[in-house]
Structure 1
């Protein structure tokens, strides 16, 4: 009996040795074949392999005639808040997109655990694709960035046209996704987070007497809309002044959101669901929740702006003068270098 047991052990060991030997031989053979295949590549094939590796590691942009590259570890998302000037509920034959009043890029680097914001002036003059209601068209014109959302036959096409305009304006920066809501629904977003707390730095006068300069308040849904939407009759009535309130609200919103996620990690998905009926996005709830969760532990690098010059002009060709913001091209390069570590 003991002899049989010993024999069984010897047989088992022999089988294991054979398996290991065969496995080692197969592994070396595969590795040898891969090396031989690489060595046997033509210069064209090796160049294609290098190009593919470059695409995996780097995104490339071109500004002022110069080429730059930045790591694909950076993900960029465009957040938009639109007005009610269009006819977005209409079918293609009568569709007109709204204007994008609020435009902000969220730049996330999950590897480095950082994120930053780049706020864009709606009046920035840039090249806009004048696509038709069928979603097609090659003509372009220099117009305010906010007008890119006019064009298209659906809200999705309007958002995609805005993404294209922003990317082109920044030399081809890759935008990984977009999220848009109408400013009319800002109260719904404010409600989902339980109200955002801000200090009122502007005189809202007759626009909303409950928003008193100098007071710190947790905004009601109606107050949040008034705080973010209106500009006429507040401060100098300029969009740049409203942009300051947008930044103020966004920063306070992120603080509140982080607190919420800390207490309940599922809150991101819940807010996504609550806003899904009114939001237009190419990101699903899982992607958005992952981004928000990663931002929870990440360092906020701050909110950036692009420098430029404001003047009045008639590029809209409606016989009226409108605010036009012209970017400082060198400032774009400097800002993107800071944002993407180029």
Structure 2
């Protein structure tokens, strides 16, 4: 069970929509973080046992993206150690099964959730670095799916990169802003997140005060609750019902929910329930897109087994240190020198200094919670 502390914010004298994406009402305001923050989602496959690849029909569910071909050779160096960096995205395509989950008026596909999973050498622990969707970044020149080229641009919202040029451009943007090579890329969408939670029988969370958010639909009293798939989507997309209503506060809930979800998966005896194991695998693979290096059940299972020593209860979740943009208080920018120090630690497979986790936009805390 995960205890979720409701984010507290400094009083700024502003209205609840004042900062960090809370200004004008934008179409994306109701989109979820899915959250997936399913950062170690391959643990699901690993936990289910080595027999998964016998279900060869599930392989056809997985979509693969050849990141190496799309990005070429102009990329950061790979880690000199056995450590790994994985970019995990949560997308909200409004097509197919996702259409019924859309309570807003947004069309197309976007990625509101992005985190860099760093697994140091030895693969016994992990750290998840969330990148706020409202972060202003320099988008590199990228190739679009139709073959055209999207020119480089400064001060674009990080969340816009996915919808403008797809996942390969998101990888390229993250690599450019961090100098960290992404070894793998994993994306899971709206429907897959809901189906996964329902397949494992729900996820238990504890909140320390009532949450009533008319935007997400979440209505919880203070205490412990077991959330189903629909409620979980509401929980990770909630921001107006907690703290000061910022997207930074929502990241805190998403991080806490991720740990609860991974712990629930780890505790379940999937080997003793082939039916449940298959159901979970089917939900995941139907909504899964990966780089070509992971685009099969065999590859996913092999990679998952290599990370089986990672205990979700010891996984550290932090947020990229950000500060409110001076020109636009509805946006944030990477805070320096904290961000540079953080990325250097990941780039060299070193311990992240405490000083690199302090975010001015959240009062100096290491996460949004």
Instruction: Judge same fold: TM > 0.5, yes or no.
Output: yes
Could you tell me which residue of structure 2 aligns to residue 119 of structure 1?
Answer: 130
Could you tell me which residue of structure 1 aligns to residue 286 of structure 2?
Answer: 277
Offset at 1:225? 1.0
Could you tell me which residue of structure 2 aligns to residue 41 of structure 1?
Answer: none
Residue 121 to residue 265, structure 1, CA distance change in 2 (3 Å): farther
Higher helix share: 1
Offset at 1:260? 2.6
Runs of 4+ in 1 over 6 A off after TM superposition: 265-269
Q: How does 1:197-236 map to 2 (within 5 A)?
A: 197-201=204-208, 203-207=210-214, 208=217, 210-212=219-221, 214-236=222-244
Residues 1:136 and 2:145 are matched in the alignment: no
Could you tell me which residue of structure 1 aligns to residue 300 of structure 2?
Answer: 288
Could you tell me which residue of structure 1 aligns to residue 355 of structure 2?
Answer: none
Q: Which runs of 5+ in 1 are unaligned?
A: 1-58, 62-68, 90-95, 153-157, 315-321
Return 110-119 or 173-182, whichever deviates more: 110-119
Could you tell me which residue of structure 1 aligns to residue 60 of structure 2?
Answer: none
Q: Which runs of 5+ in 2 are unaligned?
A: 1-74, 99-106, 352-369
Offset at 1:268? 7.2
Partners in 1 of 2:210 and 2:153 — Cα distance? 37
Larger Cα Rg: Structure 1 or Structure 2? 1
Q: Does the 8 Å contact 1:197/1:219 carry over to 2?
A: yes
Q: Does the 8 Å contact 1:82/1:182 carry over to 2?
A: yes
Normalization by structure 2: what TM-score? 0.60
Return 282-291 or 302-311, whichever deviates more: 282-291
Partners in 2 of 1:188 and 1:329 — Cα distance? 39
Which of the residues 232, 238, 260 maps onto 1:252? 260
Offset at 1:277? 1.8
State the Cα RMSD in Å.
3.3
Partners in 1 of 2:161 and 2:170 — Cα distance? 5
Q: Does the 8 Å contact 2:271/2:277 carry over to 1?
A: no
Partners in 2 of 1:78 and 1:179 — Cα distance? 6
Normalization by structure 1: what TM-score? 0.64
Tell which has more relative contact order, 1 or 2 (C-alpha 8 A, sep 6+): 2
Offset at 1:147? 0.9
Deviations, residues 293-336 of structure 1 (Å, cap 9, x unaligned): 3333235341132212024766xxxxxxx832110232123223
Residues 1:168 and 2:176 are matched in the alignment: yes
Offset at 1:264? 5.4
Q: How does 1:84-103 map to 2 (within 5 A)?
A: 84=93, 98-103=109-114
Offset at 1:271? 3.0
Which of the residues 316, 327, 335 maps onto 1:302? 316
Which of the residues 333, 338, 343 maps onto 1:331? 338
Partners in 2 of 1:292 and 1:338 — Cα distance? 24
Other structure's SS at 1:71 match: coil
Residue 193 to residue 166, structure 1, CA distance change in 2 (3 Å): farther
Other structure's SS at 1:303 match: strand
Could you tell me which residue of structure 2 aligns to residue 51 of structure 1?
Answer: none
Offset at 1:206? 4.9
Residues 1:149 and 2:162 are matched in the alignment: yes
Q: Does the 8 Å contact 1:74/1:107 carry over to 2?
A: yes
Could you tell me which residue of structure 2 aligns to residue 81 of structure 1?
Answer: 90
Partners in 2 of 1:182 and 1:274 — Cα distance? 10
Other structure's SS at 1:205 match: strand
Residue 184 to residue 285, structure 1, CA distance change in 2 (3 Å): same
Q: Does the 8 Å contact 1:203/1:235 carry over to 2?
A: no
Aligned residues: 257
Partners in 1 of 2:176 and 2:95 — Cα distance? 24
Offset at 1:261? 6.2
Other structure's SS at 1:216 match: strand
